[in-house]
Structure 1
């Protein structure tokens, strides 16, 4: 009895803190750093080539210290929610709209039929999804947009005996592989190459090779995890969630009949997703347009599924309410950036890291640049934002230390791309996890081994391109 009591105390002692506690702790640390790190900033100017407001590399200067005071610390959270309001409301709309569609029964019937067809061929599902979404990440920078696909991925994964992490990973990690390789990503590689004065999307073949390597690693990792969960569901990192959601798992032995209204709803979903992809790729749609299209998809699909207006409204509330926890995480995480910006230490951190690279030996300067970009990505999780903030500094720095500008772009794209899948300041990641209902700490536990593999692979590839003198073509 005493031994059992001691064991219970140990379990309580090592319990992972709540996600909100983790994020607020990071906010507190950043607030303390505003008293320690000298405040500073770069001057910025509009660059006509990249069409971005970029930093002037030689303009860094110290400014008056602006430490975050006690009340400012708490203000950072509502300010963060204000800054991230478009993402937060996007999440609510996606959750509500998807619930309207789900209530028609079309998702259950359609995915059930697809899952039945894939029985015995489950291994094809994961690589297929990862490859498809990687192409979206590599070409039009698919990132936040994955949020709308996650519920379907999870439903299909569960129907085949996997879990929510598998369904989320085969979509988001696929997009991450493509986003990181970025062979035609206009928001990362495109912007960085413009600032570095390189031909747009030059080095295409090398970056396609990067994508193939990342895909091979990721597919093997996700399949291994999925197979373990299918064999023994108790080892799932989100076992508690799977138990809570067990009533939503599609029973393949009792699949609902696909009726006429179900076909109409499924057709609405296909057309709706096609419309969204067209809008993103051709017209530069972002959060407002995508959420509007998804809301229209939910309402039209609901009516075609024979739901009354009042029932649609009720289902929307149910769906939005179910993801409140995750939606608020996005705003709290944005508070970290608010503290650094208001405390005037963001540019100081960037400048300090860039200065450190200059002191490195030439042989490891490229890897140092890569590590620097990884660190900066925590503070500036926007791909184009990080390019605008760092590439004007890294371009002359690459010339000084004797590495090619193309290598500097690779260091940036890897430093920006990999960790977007794990850092809590990434609105895209937090949005995905909120829709998937996966606690951040559970996702971290699943992903950190793959993240280490990705980061190590990135370092090796950077050493290789530095040795071969990866040039502009």
Structure 2
């Protein structure tokens, strides 16, 4: 008897970020036909006033609205302000991270510092935390630090610490940097968009006043 060929099992493959976003857009568009619309009243400064929520006329989203939603999100329309300035800033930062990861420049820099302070590993703690904090403050470094765990854990354990110290070096450092964001597009960029100013407005005003 001939052996029957094994059937290939179709494994679940995680969809891309664009696919997930498009699915969310479709779900929101469908819900717009069923969930009543409403809004809060605002004061002269644009702040929401508590206990003023009221229903308004619904605006169900159709197929054309779903297709055009990414465009409206970027450039805006008569009812919505676009987020093109923040989007372009994030795209530029993304390209920067892509180049850094491709060239392994950041990995080489951290490895060089670790090798230089071999035998004085305790000095690495403030140095590396400062570097990670700078990364978090400037371009939102966070999950990128996972790649450094295999490098930091053996060094810290050889110094007498445990693996938690190595992980905390990256996590705490980047978290502090993100909390004190300077030009981090994922924090200051979004905040600038919320205030209705461009991300570079505060910097230009600060430089002109000085």
Does the aligned pair in 1 maintain the 2:133–2:173 contact within 8 Å? yes
TM-fit CA distance, 1:317: 2.7
Does the aligned pair in 1 maintain the 2:107–2:148 contact within 8 Å? no
* Structure 1 residues 17-416: aligned runs within 5 Å: 106-108=39-41, 159=43, 249=46, 258=52, 262-264=53-55, 305-309=56-60, 317-318=77-78, 320-358=80-118, 360=120, 362=122, 364-375=123-134, 377=136, 381-386=140-145, 388-416=146-174
**Higher RCO (CA < 8 A, seq sep 6+):** 1
CA deviations 1:90-115 (Å, max 9, x no partner) are 9xx8xxx9xx9xxx77222xxx5xxx
The 2-side partners of 1:318 and 1:357 are apart by 58
More displaced 10-residue stretch of structure 1: 344-353 or 316-325: 316-325
Matched, 1:430 2:189: yes
Question: Residue in 1 aligned with 2:10?
Answer: none
TM-fit CA distance, 1:378: 6.5
CA deviations 1:158-217 (Å, max 9, x no partner) are x5xxxxxxxxxxxxxxxxxxxxxxxxxxxxxxxxxxxxxxxxxxxxxxxxxxxxxxxxxx
The 2-side partners of 1:326 and 1:384 are apart by 21
Does the aligned pair in 2 maintain the 1:370–1:411 contact within 8 Å? yes
The 1-side partners of 2:113 and 2:133 are apart by 11
For these two proteins, the number of residue pairs brought into alignment is 166
The 2-side partners of 1:347 and 1:429 are apart by 26
CA RMSD of aligned residues (A): 4.5
The 1-side partners of 2:173 and 2:88 are apart by 27
Does the aligned pair in 1 maintain the 2:86–2:199 contact within 8 Å? no
Q: Which runs of 5+ in 1 are unaligned?
A: 1-84, 113-158, 160-246, 265-304, 446-473
Higher helix share: 1
> CA distance change for structure 1 residues 340 and 250 in 2, over 3 Å: closer, same or farther?
closer
TM-fit CA distance, 1:329: 1.6
Question: Residue in 2 aligned with 1:27?
Answer: none
Question: Residue in 1 aligned with 2:14?
Answer: none
> CA distance change for structure 1 residues 343 and 366 in 2, over 3 Å: closer, same or farther?
closer
> CA distance change for structure 1 residues 400 and 372 in 2, over 3 Å: closer, same or farther?
farther
Q: Which runs of 5+ in 2 are unaligned?
A: 1-16, 205-210
> CA distance change for structure 1 residues 325 and 337 in 2, over 3 Å: closer, same or farther?
same
The 1-side partners of 2:185 and 2:78 are apart by 26
1:317 is paired with a residue whose SS is: coil
Does the aligned pair in 1 maintain the 2:133–2:174 contact within 8 Å? yes
> CA distance change for structure 1 residues 324 and 384 in 2, over 3 Å: closer, same or farther?
closer
The 2-side partners of 1:377 and 1:328 are apart by 19
Larger radius of gyration: 2
